[in-house]
């Protein structure tokens, strides 16, 4: 019997933080109670034991055990039976310390399930983990002088993109295998990485990354743009390496880099094990559990889930595939049971390869799966952001080329629309349209990726032989067959798909399956409740377009025009309007440079006259253009005991009347000479990264935690400040910030002026009797 055969065994496992590995750990702890586990995990910053405790044992896969044993007893059992060791299969020697090496040396069985399972992994990452990972394990075990039974988890798709029978045979014994040397493939993948790294650092390529960063973030400041540029460079490298992996795999007859590197990994491992007994388990596409540890249990999105959810959202109306073709899926608990059975029966004569699939014995046709999915989502629709049910389309089965062309056309149209909207000076609700366009573009790009990645699997017509799997099943007694079911003939697809799998898919995808409850709390309401909690420390506000519908140009225009005659006023308006494109472009490029340039207009302005005029401007312009909801929000924070801070690039005499509203104000100031302003800023204006630094310094000075603080702003140039706090709020955001805020789930507020207030494009002061001092323009 399987539990008795595993009793007293010490079993090492890699990949225990993944989908299959977590299910395997749970099953061994529950169904083989006398074995001990050695879990090799990448330690990260928390250490191996913390990772096991947080990333494995807290998973809901263990709810059944916790319930059966009790929380305290479960923790004691796990501490007694599990040894966590830090290691990494992508590092020579597995990165083990002395304790880790000692722990591995005493193991009887080594189950290797760690893998880079993403179908679009960068080529070199897949090579290091899927190809060289098993080799490193074999080499390390040999160095330790131990020969445990090694059970390596691979994939049925090492057979490649073929039609017809795919038996349980070594990869390089297949007549369809293109004979390549795995060592050469490793060297080539590493060389491509070095070449692409060098290419990414060329002046032309770096200039392209910088341009894209500026288009995405605008005038967010040099540090934010530099960080974004490096993100784009890294993403470009990974995308290139992923494309290189798909291209190389396709050239050798594999659907993707995962199958290609797994195939070569099997060959390399067989050459490297020496005296270590080896078994290989090849599952097909692993999906949610039939029963163990609970019906529908799944960890993360597997292969089919993104496609199913995209279809249910109405995004994918067509997908490549053959309706009568077989989609070979197998529930995760069946794979786990097969691995346990292979480990329990012990090593066999090579080649000991066991495939765990369903297509050859209990086929699920692609067309039948689509029919069940469509029927289920017709009865149980996903709801859109407006609370309306999404109707699922009739799915056709065209070729990949046709689907890609349709998605490419949609992408082109959306890109053009994004550019048009992005060039318009819109904000708030109008900018939301641009943000939605960006989201739709991402969805189309994601759908295109699904077609590229999964299309080959949907079109695959291989039938995987199960001779060894079924023979092993027949050798089990009734108790083992009941406790460790892996016979694919027992899966009832008509029950499993609609009653077990699809409910788990929508749960894992966290998609809305019902409209918002009437009178229920909306997401913005929940976010407002969080920011208006007494637990918050500090509320920082931008001024322009956040609390008032004005800007430095409007403020200057009001004061500069106050003492001008009618003809001079007209001349001033025409001149300012002609400058508008230049000012707008400079503001978009660098907010600090714009302020320095614009504030030079105050050179020679009398300080006492500015003081007099700014006091009148407060009621004439600032209050008239204020957002009452924004000012109420400031008062709400103060009433809750939060510290309130205004951080603005506006000048001190402009914001002077606002001092009673805030605890403190950080703003720009001009130098003074002989009773006049000299038009030069006394310090770096608080914009971009300088605004973040001012916020951070203020929080440190007053012992305030930014993680418990709120920031309100309207522009992507304010990203450094918004990203520094735990509760960012985008107020009347321009298009870039609206898109970023929607992606990150930030609160978006739409503060409006009071009804009936004037909406002049360039506000002018009411005529004023000229004095001996003359108009402000006279001092320019």
Residues, the chain:
780
For 41-84, how does the pLDDT look when each residue is reduced to its tens digit (9 = 90+)?
998 888 889 999 999 999 999 999 999 999 999 999 999 999 99
Q: Name the helix (H) or strand (E) containing 647.
A: strand 643-651
| Band (481; pLDDT cuts 50, 70, 90) | very high
Of residues 699 and 508, more confidence is placed in: 699
Confidence of residue 119 (pLDDT cuts 50, 70, 90): low
Q: Could you tell me if residue 586 is inside a domain? A: yes
Cα(582)–Cα(575) distance, rounded to whole angstroms? 12
Residue with token string 């490549």 = 320
H-helix or E-strand spanning residue 111: strand 109-112
Residue 61 CA to residue 59 CA, distance in Å, equals 5
167: Cα within 13 Å, side-chain hemisphere: 10
Asked if pLDDT for residue 769 goes beyond 50, the answer is no
pLDDT, one tens digit per residue, over 341-352 is 999 999 998 889
Model confidence at 778: pLDDT above 50: no
What integer pLDDT is reported at residue 399 of this predicted model?
A: 57
d(CA 598, CA 187): 57
Q: Give the mean pLDDT of 232-244.
A: 94
pLDDT digits (tens, 9 = 90+) for 650-704: 888 888 888 889 999 999 999 998 888 898 888 888 888 888 899 999 999 999 9
For residue 70, is it within any domain? no
Rounded average pLDDT over 552-566? 73
User: How many domains does the structure of the chain reveal?
Assistant: 1
Q: Compute and round to an integer the Cα radius of gyration of the chain.
A: 32
**What pLDDT, on the 0 to 100 scale, is given for residue 94?**
92
Q: How many angstroms from the chain centroid is the CA of residue 201?
A: 25
| pLDDT of 443 | 66
How much is the pLDDT for 262?
Answer: 95
Q: What SS3 state is found at 95?
A: helix
Query: Could you give the 3-state DSSP secondary structure of residue 676?
Result: strand
Structural domain includes residue 646: yes
Largest interatomic CA distance in the chain: 109
CB count in 10 Å sphere of residue 93: 13
User: Residue 773's pLDDT is what?
Assistant: 44
Domain membership of residue 259 (yes or no) is: no
Higher-pLDDT residue of 71 and 777 is: 71
- Residue 58 to residue 47: CA distance in whole angstroms: 16
For the ranges 446-450, 689-693, 718-722, 739-743, the lowest mean pLDDT is seen at: 446-450
Burial label for 678, CB within 10 Å (0-12, 13-18, 19+), is middle
Q: Do 342 and 112 contact (CB within 8 A), yes or no?
A: no
547 in a structural domain: yes
Q: Which tens digits make up the pLDDT trace of 599-617?
A: 888 888 888 888 877 777 6
Task: Give, as one character, the DSSP assignment of residue 492.
Answer: -
Asked which of 30-34, 198-202, 577-581, 635-639 is least confident by mean pLDDT, the reply is 577-581
538 domain-assigned: yes
* Highest-confidence segment of 248-262, 289-303, 557-571: 248-262
Q: Which is nearest to 118 in space by CA: 353, 360, 554, 450?
A: 450
- Over residues 398-444, the pLDDT tens digits come to 655 666 666 667 667 766 665 665 555 555 565 566 666 666 666 66
Q: Are strands 664-668 and 670-673 parallel, antiparallel or unpaired?
A: unpaired
Other C-beta atoms within 10 Å of 172: how many? 16
Residue 770 has pLDDT above 80, yes or no: no
Question: If you average pLDDT over every residue of the chain, what do you get?
Answer: 85
Higher pLDDT, 323 or 263: 263
Phi, psi of 772 (to 5 degrees): -65, -25
The pLDDT value recorded for residue 302 is: 57
Confidence (pLDDT) at 772: 38
CATH of the domain at 544: 3.40.50.1000
Higher pLDDT, 339 or 462: 339
* Domain-located, residue 356: no
Residue 634 counted as domain residue = yes
What pLDDT does residue 771 have?
A: 45
SS (H, E, C) 507-545: HHHCCCCCCCCCCCCCHHHHHHHHHCCCCCCEEEECCEC
Q: Is the pLDDT of residue 248 over 80?
A: yes
Angle at CA of residue 654, ends 651 and 656, nearest 5° = 105
Q: What is the pLDDT of residue 517?
A: 67
- When pLDDT is cut at 50, 70 and 90, the band that residue 27 belongs to is very high
Domain of residue 549, residue span: 527-752
- Rounded to an integer, the average pLDDT of 195-216 is 92
């Amino acid at each position: 019997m399987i539990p008795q055969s595993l009793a007293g065994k010490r079993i090492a496992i890699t990949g225990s933080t993944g989908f299959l590995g977590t299910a395997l750990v749970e099953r061994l702890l529950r169904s083989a109670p006398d074995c001990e586990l050695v879990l090799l995990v990448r330690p990260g910053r928390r250490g191996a034991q913390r990772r096991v405790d947080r990333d494995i044992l807290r998973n809901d896969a263990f709810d059944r055990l916790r319930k059966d044993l009790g929380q305290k007893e479960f923790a004691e059992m796990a501490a007694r039976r599990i040894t966590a060791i830090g290691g990494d299969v992508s590092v020579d020697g597995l990165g083990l310390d002395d304790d880790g090496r000692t722990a591995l040396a005493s193991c009887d069985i080594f189950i290797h399930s760690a893998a880079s399972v993403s179908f679009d992994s960068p080529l070199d990452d897949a090579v290091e983990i899927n190809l060289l990972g098993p080799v490193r394990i074999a080499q390390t075990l040999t160095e330790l002088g131990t020969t445990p039974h090694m059970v390596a988890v691979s994939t049925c798709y090492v057979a490649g993109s073929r039609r017809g029978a795919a038996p349980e045979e070594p990869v390089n014994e297949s007549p369809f295998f293109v004979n390549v040397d795995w060592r050469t493939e490793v060297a080539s993948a590493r060389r491509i990485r070095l070449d692409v790294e060098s290419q990414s650092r060329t002046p032309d390529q770096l200039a392209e990354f910088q341009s894209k960063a500026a288009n995405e973030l605008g005038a967010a400041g040099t540090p934010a743009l530099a960080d974004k540029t490096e993100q784009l460079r890294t993403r470009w490298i990974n995308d290139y390496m992923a494309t290189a992996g798909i291209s190389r795999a396709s050239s050798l007859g594999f659907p993707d880099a995962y199958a290609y590197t797994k195939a070569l990994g099997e060959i390399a491992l067989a050459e490297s094990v020496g005296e270590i007994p080896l078994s290989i388990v090849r599952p097909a596409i692993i999906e949610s559990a039939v029963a163990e540890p609970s019906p529908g249990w799944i960890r993360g999105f597997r292969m089919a889930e993104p496609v199913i959810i995209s279809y249910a959202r109405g995004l994918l109306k067509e997908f490549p595939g053959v309706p009568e073709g077989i989609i070979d899926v197998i529930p995760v608990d069946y794979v786990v049971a097969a691995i346990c059975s292979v480990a329990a029966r012990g090593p066999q004569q090579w080649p000991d390869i066991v495939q765990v699939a369903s297509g050859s014995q209990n086929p699920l046709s692609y067309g039948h799966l689509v029919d069940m999915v469509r029927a289920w989502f017709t009865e149980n629709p996903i709801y859109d952001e407006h609370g309306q049910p999404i109707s699922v389309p009739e799915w056709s089965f065209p070729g990949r080329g046709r689907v890609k062309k349709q998605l490419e056309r949609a992408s082109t149209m959306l890109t053009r629309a994004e550019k048009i909207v992005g060039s318009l000076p819109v904000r708030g609700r109008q900018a939301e349209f641009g943000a939605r366009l960006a989201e739709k573009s991402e969805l189309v790009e994601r759908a295109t990726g699904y077609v590229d990645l999964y299309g080959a699997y949907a079109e695959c017509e291989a039938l995987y032989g199960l001779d060894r799997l079924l023979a092993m099943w027949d050798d089990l007694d009734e108790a083992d067959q009941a406790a460790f079911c892996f016979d694919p003939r027992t899966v009832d697809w008509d029950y499993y798909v609609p009653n077990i799998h699809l409910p788990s898919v929508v749960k894992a995808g966290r998609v809305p399956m019902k409209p918002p409850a009437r009178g229920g709390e909306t997401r913005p309401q929940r976010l407002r409740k969080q920011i208006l909690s007494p637990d918050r420390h500090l509320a920082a506000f931008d001024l322009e377009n956040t609390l008032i519908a004005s800007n430095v140009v409007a403020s200057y225009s009001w004061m500069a025009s106050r003492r001008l005659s009618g003809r001079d006023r007209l001349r001033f308006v025409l001149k300012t309007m002609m400058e508008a494109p230049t000012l707008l472009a400079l503001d978009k490029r660098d907010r600090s440079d714009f302020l320095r340039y614009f504030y030079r207009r105050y050179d020679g302005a009398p300080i006492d006259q500015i003081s007099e005029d700014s006091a009148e401007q407060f009621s004439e312009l600032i209050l008239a253009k204020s957002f009452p909801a924004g000012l109420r929000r400031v008062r709400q924070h103060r009433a809750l005991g939060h510290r309130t801070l205004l951080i603005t690039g506006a000048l001190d005499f402009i914001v002077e009347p606002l001092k009673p509203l805030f605890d403190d104000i950080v703003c720009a100031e001009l130098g003074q000479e002989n009773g006049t302003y000299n038009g030069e800023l006394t310090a770096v204006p608080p914009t971009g990264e300088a605004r973040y630094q001012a916020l951070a310094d203020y929080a440190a000075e007053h012992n305030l935690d930014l993680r418990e603080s709120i920031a309100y702003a309207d522009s992507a140039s304010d990203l450094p400040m918004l990203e520094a706090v735990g509760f960012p709020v985008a107020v009347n955001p321009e298009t870039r910030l609206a898109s970023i805020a929607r992606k990150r789930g930030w609160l978006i507020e739409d503060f409006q002026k009071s009804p009936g207030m004037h909406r002049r494009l360039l506000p002018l002061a009411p005529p004023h009797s000229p004095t001996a001092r003359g108009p402000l323009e006279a001092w320019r």
